[in-house]
Homo-oligomer: A and B are copies of this chain.
Amino acid sequence: MIKVAVLGYGNIGRAAEQAILASPDMELAGIFHHNDCLDAIRADVVLLCTPTREVQKFAAVLAARGICTVDSFDIHGQIWSLRSALEPVCVANKAVSIISSGWDPGTDSIVRALLMAMAPKGLTYTNFGPGRSMGHTVAAKAIKGVKNALSMTIPLGTGIHRRMVYIELEEGADFKTVEAAILADDYFAHDETHVIAVDSVDALNNVAHGVNLVRNGVSGDTHNQRFEFNMTINNPALTGQVMVSAARAAYRMKGRGEYGAKTMIELRPIDMLPGDTEQLVKALV
C-alpha cells in the first residue's frame, strides 16, 4: 500500500482525501494543516493542497527529507521556475515531485501534448468554463464596496472568454461606481465583462467547471485534422483525483530511481493507474 498524506484541508484537500480512500492500493497517512510541523509527516507521498504560492516551500522541505510530493500549482507562467527550483532538491535527496498536477495545468496539458504529437502544425484553443475563476473572484472581492463576489468564466470559443461577475454590495455602496472599478481592473479590462448585483452570492455557489479544447492541425502534409476534448466536472473532485493518480506515478518513479521534479506531460500515463502492466495494457490499449 502506498502511504499518502494530505497537507492542507480545504476543498482540494477534502477531495484528495476521498480519492485516497477510494484507491485500492493506497492508505491515508494523515491529514496535516499547513501550519503543522512537517516533521510529524510519515508518508511515501504528500499531496500539497495548500495555497499555490506555498507549494514550493513545502515541496522543498519534504523533498529534502526524500519524501515525494504532488501539487496542483496553477500559475502557468511560473511552472518552469517551480520545476527548476525543485529538480535539484529532488535529485539530491532521491525524491520525486510531480508539479502542476490538476486539470489545467495538468490533464489538459497532456491532451495538448498528445494533439501536438498527432498534428504538429495548427492551432489549439483551450476554452474554459462555464465555471468559477478563483483568480477573478478574488480580484472582484478586492474592489472597494464589494462584500462578496463570484466571477464566472464563460467560453466564447478560440480561447476568448466572457466574465460574468456577480456581486453583493456593501451597505451604502454605489453599484455604478463599483461596476466601473471592476471593469477597469486589469483582471477584467481585456475581456467582455458583465457585472450583476445579487442579494446572495452564496446562493449561486457551484464548483462545476468545464473545458472545450480544440485543435485543427496538419499530420504530415494532410490538413484539416480535427480534434476536440470536452469535460464538465466538479472542479475540486477532479483536481483531488488527479493529484492522487499522480501520487501513484511519483511512488513508482521513485521506486525505479527516476528522481526529479516533473510536470504531467513527463509522466507515463500507465504509472497513474492501479494494477500491473499486463492488466492495464489488455484493458486500455
> Which chain A residues have a beta carbon within 8 Å of chain B's beta carbons?
15-19, 21-23, 76, 79-80, 83, 100, 103, 105, 107, 109-114, 116-121, 218-222, 224-234, 237-238, 240-242, 244-245, 263-270, 272-274, 277-278, 280-282, 284-285
Contacts and interface: CB of A to CB of B under 8 A. Distances in A.
B265 A237 contact: no
Given A109-B284, A113-B270, A114-B269, A237 B264 contact: no
A242 B117 contact: yes
Contacts of A233: 219, 225-227
A264 to B, nearest CB: 7
Contact of A241 (B118, B265, B266): B118
Nearest to A279: B80
Contacts of A121: 22
B285 A263 contact: yes
B112 A284 contact: yes
Given A237-B222, A284-B109, A118 B230 contact: no
Contacts of A109: 284-285
Contacts of A21: 220-221
A189 B283 CA distance: 25
A119 B80 contact: no
A284 B113 contact: yes
Given A111-B114, A117-B242, A281-B80, A18 B273 contact: no
A16 B105 CA distance: 31
Contact of A268 (B222, B227, B265, B284): B265
A273 B117 contact: yes
A227 B233 CA distance: 8
Contact of A110 (B76, B114, B231): B114
A25 to B, nearest CB: 11
